[in-house]
Amino acid sequence: MPTFRRIALLVRSLDHGGAEKQATVLANGLARSGYAVSLLAFYPGLALRTEVSSEVSVKCLEKRGRWDILALLRNLLSVLHEEQPEVLYSFLPGPNLLACITKLRFPKLKVAWGVRASYVDLARYSWLTGFSYWLERRFSGCPDLIIANSEAGRRYAVSHGFSDTDRFLVIPNGIDTELFRPNGASREVIRGEWGVLPHETLVGIVGRLDPMKDYPTFLQAAAKLAQREEGMRFVSVGAGPVNYAVVLREQACKLGLEKRMIWAGARGDLPAIYNALDLLVSSSSFGEGFSNVLGEAMACGVPCVATDVGDARAILGDSDAVVSPADPEALATKAIAVMKRARLEGAGLRVRLRQRIAENFSVKTLVRRTSAALEAIS
């Protein structure tokens, strides 16, 4: 029998993001398993709101800006007093630190942290990001449990001062294979929307416009592919700061990709997006733990090439599809090899890609392992 019934999950928002997506998936799964689940968000983002089950209570903590900490804490404490969860499971540094503060008011509340990244190049971000990570390390002994979504993330955290104990577990993300599945009709719709012809090969990168995703390496590799292969088209699916987006578009033009590159922005119809692709590329140079986009694309039967960052190698299960970071020549060469293999093996390869995700990274497994870990501390 469960030792607790009520759990709250704490995230920054319900906008697009890997941690936010996994929190939503987990909340739905825990609710289906009989737990009373609350999903608490700092900000009122709506992108993922429609994906939250009606069985999950959603509360916005009405954070008004970066420095609106006291009001945020007051609202969180009020919600916790009202809902009385036995466990608070937070995701990412800001929510993690706030979760520990709540133990001062609710000493019996069990707190679990979610660690979602591996190596992070803090020099690429603001001082506040670095300070938050420093605080997270200093207070890593506070939570009753820490859950990393990748082996790489756990190794990195421990090497940088997190407590190396049996309270620090690895539970990989879960991919909804009912949502992410092959769909020929949606493939045609999206390719038609983008003006991609049937004989053209579409290579995509899905992820926010952020330094960790290393779009410059993707664009350089795309230019090399365009020179070596006929009928190549490329698409970026994701949003980011306007200034950075302008820089990337200028780089694409300088590389001769202006007519080959599609800038699709953020999209909520990712299953259809993946189905439109012939190859997905993850060019991240740091920061990834468990890359959702790799698992989601594979569940749709789409072959992938990725840099050896985070647990990409373990997700793909194929070292022949992995290259070193920041190496556009290697990325282009590997992409050609994987596309040739996909043409040769056809449907058989697509079935095996989907099967790997279903057997190793299902939502059912995520929920079962997470509930067992939370039960153990309650």
pLDDT digits (tens, 9 = 90+) for 79-119: 999 999 999 999 988 999 999 999 999 999 999 999 988 77
Whether residue 316 contacts residue 294, with contact meaning beta carbons closer than 8 Å, is answered with yes
Q: What is the pLDDT of residues 119-163, one digit of tens each?
A: 777 677 777 777 887 888 889 989 999 999 999 999 999 998 898
pLDDT for position 2: 54
Q: What is the pLDDT of residues 238-252, one digit of tens each?
A: 999 999 999 999 999
The pLDDT score that the predictor gives to residue 46 is 66
Write the CB contacts of 11 (distance below 8 Å, at least 6 apart in sequence).
19, 20, 23, 39, 40, 41, 42, 90, 91, 92, 95
**Per-residue confidence (pLDDT) for residue 79, from 0 to 100:** 95
Count CA within 13 A, CB hemisphere, residue 371: 24
pLDDT at 1: 46
- How far is it, in rounded angstroms, from Cα 308 to Cα 296? 18
User: For residue 4, what pLDDT is reported?
Assistant: 67
Distance of CA 226 to the CA centre of its chain: 28
pTM passes above 0.75: yes
Task: Please identify every stretch of the chain with a pLDDT value under 50, giving residue numbers as ranges.
Answer: 1
CATH of domain 184-360: 3.40.50.2000
CATH class of 6-174+362-377: alpha beta
Segments of the chain assigned to CATH 3.40.50.2000: 6-174+362-377, 184-360
Instruction: Give the C-alpha distances (Å, rounded to integers) separating 130 from 98, 109, 123, 164.
Output: 16, 28, 8, 21
pLDDT of 131 reads 81
